[in-house]
């Protein structure tokens, strides 16, 4: 009989540097599947104690599953990465929470004994595949008013969140964005981000060969003054700008998850221990509020309260979306427990890959804070959802 109810740990995580989407971005002439293959190979290289034949599953997420992000990525990328043909794989799509869902799905399989070790990953090449490319939304969505027309434009949902919570002003969103840029610059200066980055070889018809070793989107030196005059593309005199939201980005992430007893058997590291997870839905027109109910559900499943959480990694699709979660729990905009190394406003948000980026950041946070027992990774999801995963710090010591 398979052994059920096992502890699940995140053994390791890595990612490519994130690039700006478009013809001048880092990965303009790089295939999406090659990005995620690079991450899978790096995870195998970094974990020599893990025999590739012990990997039981590969789940890879992409939001736009077309072209070089199609063809059952979990299987095709696994083969391209050199994994044995005996290792199966599949694709995942939960829009922005793709990698998060890939990780929780294989973790559930590990918990019930279906897998011992699995790889979860996510990739998004928004330069090659703009969000929504090739989709054909059912006309009933609008004809029968199943969703508000603005629900299909993420920037407008962020403006709607400002409407719902008018005290979450543009000034507060801009201040949060400035802080994200500053924290990211400091994390780079302190060498905290670089260890989890996988250098990616680049080829450009115009520039020749190169190597991506750092995130392209950060804008160090961003100030309140520089943000104040930016256009509000989603509404005249609005509050959401390119400065207080994540950009359009390319990149891939990946992680190794395992049963804790198997990680111990193989001598693998343990960076995060899974406690609980939850996904929840909200009105699609206020998509950014999704992390509130998903966090409530995850806390309830874990038997914890928000006061038990010592570190938060919240995806910064829009500053107002992070602020709405903090406001719900009475957490200050500048609370040092929240995104201590900055977030997506600075480093970028390549949709389906971002969930594992949050996990690698939390693993780094946990190393720095052995006195913290529990942390959260959370994100809003297109079409009105939120996802939250609660993790325990394997380095936790009460005496710290």
Q: Within its chain, how far is the Cα of 29 from the centroid?
A: 23
Pick the closest to residue 119 from 284, 303, 268, 292 (CA basis). 268
User: How far apart (Å, rounded) are the C-alpha atoms in residues 382 and 151?
Assistant: 8
* DSSP assignment letter at 136: -
328 assigned to active site: no
Give me the residues paired with residue 272 across strands. Answer: 10
237-256 burial: b if 16+ Cβ within 10 Å, else e: ebbbbbbbbbbbbbbbbbbb
Pick the closest to residue 162 from 363, 327, 46 (CA basis). 327
What single string gives the DSSP state of each residue in 24-42?
A: TSTTTTS-HHHHHHHHHHH
Single out the catalytic residue among 125, 129, 162, 380.
Answer: 380
Single out the catalytic residue among 96, 125, 129, 369.
Answer: 96
Strand pairing class (249-259; 8-15): antiparallel
Single out the catalytic residue among 129, 162, 349, 369.
Answer: 349
96 assigned to active site: yes
What are the residues whose beta carbons fall under 8 Å from the beta carbon of 399, sequence distance 6 or more? none
Strands (E), the chain: 8-15, 19-20, 57-61, 89-92, 117-125, 200-204, 208-212, 249-259, 272-281, 309-314, 374-381, 385-392
* DSSP assignment letter at 288: G
167 assigned to active site: no
Strand pairing class (117-125; 249-259): antiparallel
Give me the residues paired with residue 243 across strands. Answer: none
Q: Are 286 and 164 in contact (CB under 8 A)?
A: yes
Q: Residue 202 in 3-state DSSP?
A: strand
* Residues known to be catalytic: 96, 349, 380
């Amino acid at each position: 009989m398979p052994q059920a109810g096992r502890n699940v740990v995140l053994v390791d995580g890595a990612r490519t540097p994130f690039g700006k989407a478009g013809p001048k971005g880092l990965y303009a002439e790089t295939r999406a599947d090659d990005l995620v293959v690079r991450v899978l190979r790096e995870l195998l290289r970094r974990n020599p104690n893990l025999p590739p034949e012990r990997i039981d599953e590969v789940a890879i997420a992409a939001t736009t599953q077309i072209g070089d992000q199609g063809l059952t990525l979990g299987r095709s990328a696994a083969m391209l990465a050199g994994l044995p043909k005996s290792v199966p794989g599949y694709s995942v799509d939960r829009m922005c929470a793709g990698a998060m869902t890939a990780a929780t799905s294989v973790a559930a399989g590990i918990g019930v004994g279906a897998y011992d070790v699995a790889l979860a990953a996510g990739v998004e090449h928004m330069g090659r595949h703009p969000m929504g490319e090739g989709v054909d939304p059912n006309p009933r969505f609008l004809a029968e008013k199943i969703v508000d027309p603005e629900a299909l434009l993420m920037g407008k949902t962020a403006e709607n969140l400002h409407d719902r919570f008018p005290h979450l002003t543009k000034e507060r969103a801009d201040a949060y964005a400035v802080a994200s840029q500053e924290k990211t610059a400091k994390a780079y200066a302190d060498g905290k981000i670089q260890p989890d980055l996988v250098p990616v070889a680049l080829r450009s018809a115009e520039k020749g060969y190169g190597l991506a070793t750092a995130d392209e989107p950060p804008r160090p030196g961003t100030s309140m003054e520089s943000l104040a005059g930016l256009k509000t593309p989603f509404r005249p005199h609005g509050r959401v700008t390119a400065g207080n939201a994540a950009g359009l980005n390319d990149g891939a992430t990946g992680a190794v998850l395992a049963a804790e007893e198997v990680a111990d058997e193989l001598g693998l590291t343990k960076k995060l221990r899974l406690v609980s997870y939850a996904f929840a839905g909200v009105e699609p027109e206020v998509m950014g509020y999704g992390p509130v109910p998903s966090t409530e559900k995850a806390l309830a499943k874990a038997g914890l309260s928000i006061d038990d959480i010592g570190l938060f990694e919240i995806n910064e699709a829009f500053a107002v979306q992070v602020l709405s979660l903090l406001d719900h729990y009475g957490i200050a905009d500048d609370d040092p427990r929240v995104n201590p190394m900055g977030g997506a406003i600075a480093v970028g948000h390549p949709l389906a890959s971002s969930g594992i980026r949050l996990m690698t950041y939390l693993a780094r946070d946990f190393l720095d804070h052995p006195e913290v027992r529990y942390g959260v990774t959370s994100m809003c999801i297109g079409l009105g959802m939120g996802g939250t995963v609660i993790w325990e710090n394997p380095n936790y010591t009460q005496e710290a």
